[in-house]
Amino acid sequence: MVDAKFGVGRLAAVYDGFEPDRVDLEHYVAMVGEFAARRVVDVGCGTGVLACLLARDGVDVIGVDPADASLEVARGKEFADRVRWIHGDATTLPALEADLAVMTGNVAQVFLTDEEWDATLRGVHAALATDGRFVFETRDPAARVWEEWGKWTRENTYQVAPVPDGGTVETWGELLSVELPFVSFRGTYVFSSDGAVLTSDSTLRFRERDELEQSLTAAGFAVDDVRDAPDRPGKEFVFIARRL
């Protein structure tokens, strides 16, 4: 199930307006150079910000996402014509012999069941060349970020941004439930042009480090490193796994 903010065209079109400063992507761009990756798969590429950044630098990029509305936004970006866009998920990827696969943002946490996560790992594994690397981030449960989200109210999270085709959209977030390892929250969007009110509900799964390591090993990866996220020190794991 795709969250409305990615799968509904009207919401996907304004998503980037509320995420203007993607400093979290800088260390992924750096790792493409670190690992001398020439072909990269961006799993859950969303509106294509990272994919287009890499394509600009001459990297062969495949962006895959189950939300066609987000891909439509991605296809309109500069350098998008250099990216191969696939409507689907990791389980639908062909054998690409990629040097690197990445999952940024919340992507690794949207797979709520073990079956979904394991199938995703197998799909990524099949898309990589031997010794190709899989890099993804996921929040460390020990940081208990949901306690910060518990302060989410309209007053604390309110934002407003222009809509590409005119008018503005207001948005705010609220925590819905914490039933570990699952945390659910809602975004509300109000469009000035016609007063339409849309909502998008999301649920993330918080997996422990050892749980993730075991699942990677079972899927045929070796965990080479687990780093801190430079933009969120002490709050996230950045896994670097290698296809055996």
Q: In this structure, are 104 and 19 located in the same domain?
A: yes
Q: CA angle at residue 45 from 44 to 47, to 5 degrees?
A: 125
- Kindly tell me if the per-residue pLDDT of 19 is higher than 90: no
Q: In this structure, are 168 and 136 located in the same domain?
A: no
Q: In this structure, are 112 and 231 located in the same domain?
A: yes
Q: In this structure, are 168 and 76 located in the same domain?
A: no
Q: In this structure, are 17 and 61 located in the same domain?
A: yes
**Structural domain containing residue 175:** 143-204
142 contact partners, CB below 8 Å, separation of at least 6: none
- Kindly tell me if the per-residue pLDDT of 32 is higher than 90: yes
Q: In this structure, are 194 and 96 located in the same domain?
A: no
Q: How far apart are CA 221 and CA 205, in angstroms?
A: 21
Q: Is 23 exposed, middle or buried (0-12, 13-18, 19+ CB in 10 A)?
A: exposed
Q: In this structure, are 219 and 119 located in the same domain?
A: yes
- Supply the CATH number for residue 210's domain: 3.40.50.150
Give the model confidence (pLDDT) of 71-102 as tens digits.
999 999 999 999 999 999 999 999 999 999 99
**Orientation angle between helical segments 26-34 and 49-56, nearest 10 degrees:** 40
Q: In this structure, are 238 and 173 located in the same domain?
A: no
Looking at 9-167, list the stretches that DSSP marks H as alpha helix, in order from N- to C-terminal side.
9-15, 26-34, 49-56, 68-75, 114-127, 146-149, 154-157
Give the model confidence (pLDDT) of 99-113 as tens digits.
999 999 999 999 999
Total structural domains within the chain: 2
- Kindly tell me if the per-residue pLDDT of 21 is higher than 80: no
